[in-house]
A and B are shown apart, each in its own frame.
Chain A
Amino acid sequence: MKKTLLSLISTIGIPRIIIAGFLTFLLITAFVLGVDVNRLLSDSLVRIGRNGLFVLALLPTLKAGVGLNFGLSLGAICGLIGLVLGLELGITGINHILLALVIGVLLAVIIGYIYGVLLNQTKGQEMMVGNYIGFATVSLMCTFWLLAPFRNPTLVWAIGGRGLRTTLVLPGETSQIIDNFLSFSFFGLNIPTGTFVLFFLSCLLLYFFFKTRSGLSMVAVGSNPVFARASGIKENTIRIQSVVLSTVLAAFGMIIFAQSFGFVQLYMAPLMLPFPAIACILIGGASLRKATLLHVIIGTALFQTLLTITLPVVTQVVAISGEAGDITEVLRVIISNGLILYALTRKGGD
């Protein structure tokens, strides 16, 4: 009995037990204090749907042994370009999403390919190089948002008539179109069905992809490069494929994120985007050597719920002034970076 319990604990993992315990504690506190628990859970569900694809985007590169994709923002920028072009042309509703998808994915394939080639040249330091390529691209794109010839008066600054605004509002027809698709209430919980269906569909597609020939070779390259080379798998090509797949998923993720959020945030907004996603997959139990779909789903659910419900509950207990920042933000920074550090310093990355 004791043995099975111990093995159960080690399968689930102590970090997840602690966080799940903390979440339960927060929810009970919220209930006792009379905070609207349904509302908290509904908000959590929205956030999980919103961020799931970014976390999923990390899976291919981890599987192929390229490591954590710190350059996730590259893909996100491709998605942003698609969204902004739709806004500029005045296309709304589902067509807007589809146009953004086509443009975003096309760009992501090109950018992902170049990024993948670069990462192949810098084997061993992919994470650091990817991180700074991401940072450099985000800051370079800032000049693009400022100087590109966008003319739509609802998008550019009112004064001077040039340069996109930092935050663009999505029109009502586009905003939450996927979230609201088939959405329903369940015991007072609002379920953003469309986004969830898309997320799980993407997970399922990736699951089947890893059963195909190229998916299996990706896993082989990641888990045993020597064996992969011996069986004639082209390691570098496979690695590039994983990076392209990751970048495309990130572009897709950005579009889903924006439609759910209702705003398109430009300039330095995508800079730190990879970090919460990385924290999610690590909280789910992934390591540099091993990552599965289950890690993606569990991690996203735990971390996003934690972020959503901490602040409302904590503010009920202690009054915190908003002048210099809130405690959730600080907690997010400590937990997410603490987890990344933990993953980096484990022996051999296991």
Chain B
Amino acid sequence: MKRIIEITKDNPIPVLFLIICLFGLWIAELPLPIFINDLIARLSRNTFLVLSLIIPIVVGLGLNFALVTGAMAGQIGAITVIELGIKGLQGFLVACLIAVPLAIIFGYLLGKLFNIAKGREMITGFITGFFANGVYQFIFLFLIGTALIPFKDKTILLPQGWGIRSVVDLFNIQYAIDSILIFRIPVGRYLLSVPLSTFIIIFILCLAINYFLKTKLGQEFKAIGQEPHVSLVYGINVDKNRILATIISIALAAIGQLIFLQNLGTVNTYASHEQVALFSIAALLVGGATVKKATVSNALLGVLLFHSIFIISPQAGQKLFGQPQVGEYFRVFVAYGVIAFSLATHTFQERVAKK
């Protein structure tokens, strides 16, 4: 009992969401195998993206609200691969080869921007996401298919001959990663499918992040996050490292979005990327991370809890109020609310600490 209280005191947010989750599960009366199957799919889709948020937090940039730029790079890769007609794992790798260099460029520009807007990194990243989305829409709606960016594949172009359709079928690369090693476990009438290969990739990324933070560069990142002024005195190039952290985050997000898309098998050209930052950040915060501190376990726990709520809430809304939309709005509220709460408590604590 004493231990439970201690855990609650140290991790109030994850415990709160665990309670919401359990309550929701009890209300919703979802068949457990269906719930678990859905959860596994969501874990395999989203964990990589959430992990891409950790490095910028360590270096003191806060929550990377510009994650959407990475997701865009991923989508550019995916759609180009459809146009090129490359299939399977090969297609996925080519998509990565297109997406990652783009993401590195985006990350570099973004890092520069963050250095100009020091102290306002989060709102700058947030607005950059919207701005980049506008440019992305302009390119995908009005430039692709014209003489500037000639695309030939009629199935992905709008009937007028230019602009990409709002839904593009990604049959080329669907399950490219998932299907390398997949387990199907029968549970009663249901079939659980576990894409082990995707989870292995996520596991490798977890190890890589933890290893990276122990290297010299990782230690520099930590130092910058904790004591930016002292780091400068010790001869650490703060600005350069901040740009590097941004590049890592955006590049990982590009790969993360490709993993997300290969599982879904379709891309909503103008929508799939929009909510990436919101849901990834909310998941990380639900796992107990703050604006200043995030670990791999925060990310894993967060994805588990946040997406459980995501699956349960429509059903719970239906059972509690007779309307599934209540649950749908509730989960959007959870996402926005947890971000608002974390930002507010963080700033408040900073102010108290200063006094």
Question: By the criterion CB–CB under 8 Å, are B333 and A337 in contact?
Answer: no
Contact A325/B270 with A139-B336, A162-B323 known, Cβ cut-off 8 Å: yes
Closest to B165 in A: A324
Question: By the criterion CB–CB under 8 Å, are A330 and B137 in contact?
Answer: yes
Bound form: Cα–Cα A334–B134 in Å:
5
A-facing residues in B277-304 (Cβ within 8 Å): none
Report A307-350 CB contacts with B as 1/0, cut-off 8 Å: 00000000000011101110100110110011011001101000
A277 to chain B, nearest CB (A): 14
| Contacting residues, chain A, for B119 (C-beta < 8 A) | 124
Asked if A99 lies at the interface with its beta carbon under 8 angstroms from chain B, I say no
Specify which of B141, B159, B337, B346 is in contact with A136 (CB 8 Å cutoff): B337
* SS of B interface (majority): helix
* SS of A interface (majority): helix
| Contacting residues, chain A, for B226 (C-beta < 8 A) | none
Bound form: Cα–Cα A86–B157 in Å:
48
Question: By the criterion CB–CB under 8 Å, are A338 and B323 in contact?
Answer: no
Most buried by A among B141, B348, B351: B141
Question: By the criterion CB–CB under 8 Å, are A122 and B343 in contact?
Answer: yes
Asked if B35 lies at the interface with its beta carbon under 8 angstroms from chain A, I say no
Specify which of B123, B127, B135, B340 is in contact with A133 (CB 8 Å cutoff): B340
Question: By the criterion CB–CB under 8 Å, are A324 and B158 in contact?
Answer: yes
Closest to B352 in A: A121
Bound form: Cα–Cα A319–B161 in Å:
12
| Contacting residues, chain A, for B343 (C-beta < 8 A) | 122, 125, 128-129, 132
Asked if B27 lies at the interface with its beta carbon under 8 angstroms from chain A, I say no
A-facing residues in B256-287 (Cβ within 8 Å): 269-270
Bound form: Cα–Cα A311–B329 in Å:
33
B144 to chain A, nearest CB (A): 11
Asked if A253 lies at the interface with its beta carbon under 8 angstroms from chain B, I say no
| Contacting residues, chain A, for B332 (C-beta < 8 A) | 139, 142
| Contacting residues, chain A, for B323 (C-beta < 8 A) | 146-147, 160, 162-163
Question: By the criterion CB–CB under 8 Å, are B134 and A122 in contact?
Answer: no
Report B328-352 CB contacts with A as 1/0, cut-off 8 Å: 0110110111011001101110110
Contact A123/B158 with A135-B340, A325-B270, A334-B131 known, Cβ cut-off 8 Å: no
Bound form: Cα–Cα A330–B132 in Å:
11
A17 to chain B, nearest CB (A): 22
Question: By the criterion CB–CB under 8 Å, are B141 and A325 in contact?
Answer: yes
Question: By the criterion CB–CB under 8 Å, are A338 and B131 in contact?
Answer: yes
| Contacting residues, chain A, for B113 (C-beta < 8 A) | 341, 345
Asked if A169 lies at the interface with its beta carbon under 8 angstroms from chain B, I say no
Bound form: Cα–Cα A325–B137 in Å:
9
Bound form: Cα–Cα A324–B268 in Å:
11
Question: By the criterion CB–CB under 8 Å, are B123 and A127 in contact?
Answer: yes
Bound form: Cα–Cα A140–B338 in Å:
12
Bound form: Cα–Cα A340–B126 in Å:
11
B-facing residues in A123-163 (Cβ within 8 Å): 123-125, 127-129, 131-133, 135-136, 138-140, 142-143, 146-147, 160, 162-163
Bound form: Cα–Cα A331–B137 in Å:
10
Asked if A103 lies at the interface with its beta carbon under 8 angstroms from chain B, I say no
Bound form: Cα–Cα A123–B227 in Å:
21
| Contacting residues, chain A, for B134 (C-beta < 8 A) | 330-331, 333-334, 337-338
| Contacting residues, chain B, for A333 (C-beta < 8 A) | 130-131, 133-134, 137
A12 to chain B, nearest CB (A): 25
Question: By the criterion CB–CB under 8 Å, are A139 and B158 in contact?
Answer: no
Question: By the criterion CB–CB under 8 Å, are B344 and A118 in contact?
Answer: yes
Bound form: Cα–Cα A147–B323 in Å:
9
Additional pairs, 5, CB under 8 Å, beyond known A128-B343, A147-B326: A121-B347, A124-B350, A136-B336, A338-B134, A347-B116
Residue pairs across A and B with Cβ atoms less than 8 A apart, 5 shown, are A135-B340, A139-B332, A324-B164, A337-B131, A345-B113
Chain A residues engaging chain B, CB cutoff 8 angstroms: 118, 121-125, 127-129, 131-133, 135-136, 138-140, 142-143, 146-147, 160, 162-163, 267, 275, 319-321, 323-325, 327, 330-331, 333-334, 337-338, 340-341, 344-345, 347
Chain B residues engaging chain A, CB cutoff 8 angstroms: 113, 116-117, 119-120, 122-124, 126-128, 130-131, 133-135, 137-138, 141-142, 158-160, 163-166, 269-270, 321-323, 325-326, 329-330, 332-333, 335-337, 339-340, 343-344, 346-348, 350-351
